[in-house]
Homo-oligomer: A and B are copies of this chain.
Amino acid sequence: MTDREQGNEFLPKFDAAGLLTAVAQDAASGEVLMVASMNAEALARTRETGLAHFFSRSRNTLWLKGETSGNTLAVERVLVDCDQDALVLQVRPAGPACHTGARTCFYRALEGDVLARHG
């Protein structure tokens, strides 16, 4: 057991690319809405503004979730895992979290070998 695991100091562990994984979860329903990456700046902006910011690996840029759609995620609580390389953001979504218009990005379930919409 290390201080990182047992202590009260926030020591986010970024990987070689400077990223950690953030899971956005609906604070009311518990539904997982999306999974994205954060770099140190995305984490700092999220903490400063209370709105979820992520880092896009494909576009190599910081983004405010909902910047164009208006579908921001207001962060109520940040949970931190044992080795501090993953965060759960418990959020109040302003609208559909997924760019497809679905409430959550996880709108399909694996049933046998195919995907089916659910919920």
Cβ contact within 8 Å between A99 and B82: yes
Contacts of A21 in B (CB 8 A): 21, 35
Asked if A34 is at the interface of the complex by the 8 Å CB criterion, the answer is: yes
Chain A 58-87 per-residue mask, 1 if CB under 8 angstroms from chain B, else 0: 000000000000000000011111100010
Interface check A98, CB cutoff 8 A: yes
Asked whether, in the complex, the Cβ of A80 is within 8 Å of the Cβ of B34, the reply is: no
Which of A7, A81, A105 neighbours the largest number of chain B CB atoms within 10 Å of its CB? A81
Closest to A1 in B: B100
| A113 with B79: CB separation less than 8 A | no
Known: A29-B30, A115-B7, A115-B10. A82 touches B105 (CB 8 A): yes
